[in-house]
Amino acid sequence: METNDNKRIQFNRKSLERRKARNKKSTVTLIILLLVLVGVLIYLSRFAAKNKEKEVSGTEIANKQNNTDMKKVTDFSLIGKNGNPVSLSEYKGKVLLIVNTATGCGFTPQYEELEAMYKKLKNKGFEILDVPCNQFGNQTPGTDAEITEFCQVKFGTDFPQFKKSDVNGENELPLYTWLKGQKGFEGFDADNKLTPVLEKMFDASNPGWRESNDIKWNFTKFLVDRFGNVVARFEPTHSMEDVEAQVEKLL
């Protein structure tokens, strides 16, 4: 028979073994938790790095778009009616007339002349890019859908029309920053009956308006050749017959 001392020794040994097992289990659990924590930290750091990379990439794209040293119109984009960017590289090799338009302006009837020019010349490689803008006299207050409906119903327009956007100021399209840098303002046409009206209005509101290359009013037009170079700027007072003549020279 085992003595009480032997029983006590065996009990103590078993208790020690159980404690060792528990300690070992706790250590393994702790190691697993630490590994999980390390894995989570690695994942979060990689996720943050990817987001940072995306952020940097987006910034680089924005900076690229805003770089006025760019040489070709095809390096830029416009915003489609669905809010997505449309690369102007889609129009590579085309002669372009880029116009900021309005639906309630004294020059709005130019839509009819623009559409007639488009129908006549589009099969020769000509495109009109219509950018509605509400910065001049609040003359384009409608939604994009309303603007499109107005132009199609009243003037039968079929040329590409983009999202209503700013062409001057802090939120101006990068494309327009570049266009204005390529061809500055050289004055309104003296023989147009609306020129004195516009000049009087601008003189009263901003005496230094002639010194800026900003877009002055609705239906300012930039003519771009097949190689993506801006070759002319036409103010809204410019003869549409001459605009068409200069377009035809490039086709």
Of 99, 115, 103, the C-alpha closest to 159 is 115
Of 241, 217, 246, 14, the C-alpha closest to 114 is 241
**Which own/partner contact pairs does 195-204 have at CB distance under 8 Å and 24+ positions apart?**
195/237, 198/237
Residues with Cβ within 8 Å of residue 211, at least 6 apart in sequence: none
Helical segments of 128-209, H only:
144-155, 174-182, 195-205
Q: How far apart are CA 22 and CA 125, in angstroms?
A: 82
Q: How far apart are CA 163 and CA 83, in angstroms?
A: 7
Q: How far is CA 216 from the centre of its chain?
A: 22
- Helices 144-155, 110-121: inter-axial angle, 10-degree rounding: 70
Based on the residue annotation, tell me whether 151 is a catalytic residue of this protein.
no
User: Where do the DSSP E strands lie in the chain?
Assistant: 77-79, 85-87, 95-101, 126-132, 221-224, 230-234
**Which of 95, 105, 151, 173 does the annotation list as catalytic?**
105
Tokens 């309005």, located at residue: 102
- Please answer whether residues 213 and 242 qualify as being in contact, where contact means their C-beta atoms are separated by less than 8 angstroms: no
Q: Which residues are catalytic?
A: 105
